[in-house]
Amino acid sequence: MHPPRFLPDVPLPPYSHVPGRTPHPISDPRGHSFGHPPEHAARPESDAWASCRAYLRGVDLFNHGYYWEAHEVWESLWHACGRHGDVADFLKGLIKLAAAGVKVREGRPRGVVGHARAAAHLFRRTAANAESLFGLRLDELVGFAEAVAAHPPISATPAAPVEVVFGFTLGPRKR
């Protein structure tokens, strides 16, 4: 069963990029996004997350196994907020969690552990100032990241065009 989509009007790519295995989405003419430059995101506001299409796009991509693509979307938001502060740390935690998903697909468990630990650290640091951000509970994110670091998932179908590798989904919700 697939998790719900936050932006069902935006199609998912035909494959999830795995470096060294699939065409680079942007720079390779065979890439799924070649010729479509990435959109420059506006500075995200944590209390207006439900209207932040870039953030929701990242959630959809992550939840459906497009970890490299989610990383790229969230990185644009991270840059838009200046790469400093609680929102930036939260976004960088999501970026690191997505990078752990890429490492699972690449079959690199040490990379999975390193990125997941970094994500847990960033979420824990952010949790010192907030219970939740962008509709996500920070204690749950810390738990997800720590579980991934403790028991790195293994790709069941490395050659698949898309694979969901985590046993959890991101489910932003209004409080």
Residue in 91, 102, 82, 80 with CA at minimum distance from that of residue 136:
91
Tokens, residue 36: 């479509």
Q: What are phi and psi of 109, to 5 degrees?
A: -60, -35
For the stretch 117-175, pLDDT in tens is 999 999 999 999 999 999 999 999 999 999 999 999 999 998 999 999 999 999 988 76
What residue segments make up the domains of the chain, in order of their start?
46-150
Question: What's this model's pTM, rounded to 2 decimal places?
Answer: 0.96
DSSP at 2? P
d(CA 55, CA 125): 20
d(CA 53, CA 64): 16
Say if residue 69's pLDDT is above 80.
Answer: yes
Please say whether the beta carbons of 142 and 120 come within 8 A: yes
Architecture, CATH, for domain 46-150: Orthogonal Bundle (1.10)
Residue in 150, 153, 149 with CA at minimum distance from that of residue 166:
153
- Specify the 3-state DSSP secondary structure of 147: helix
d(CA 98, CA 64): 11
For the stretch 72-115, pLDDT in tens is 999 999 999 999 999 999 999 999 999 999 999 999 999 999 99
What's residue 46's pLDDT?
Answer: 81
Determine the longest span between alpha carbons in the chain, in angstroms.
45
Which CA distances in Å does 107 have to 91, 110, 149, 159? 24, 9, 14, 11
Please say whether the beta carbons of 118 and 144 come within 8 A: no
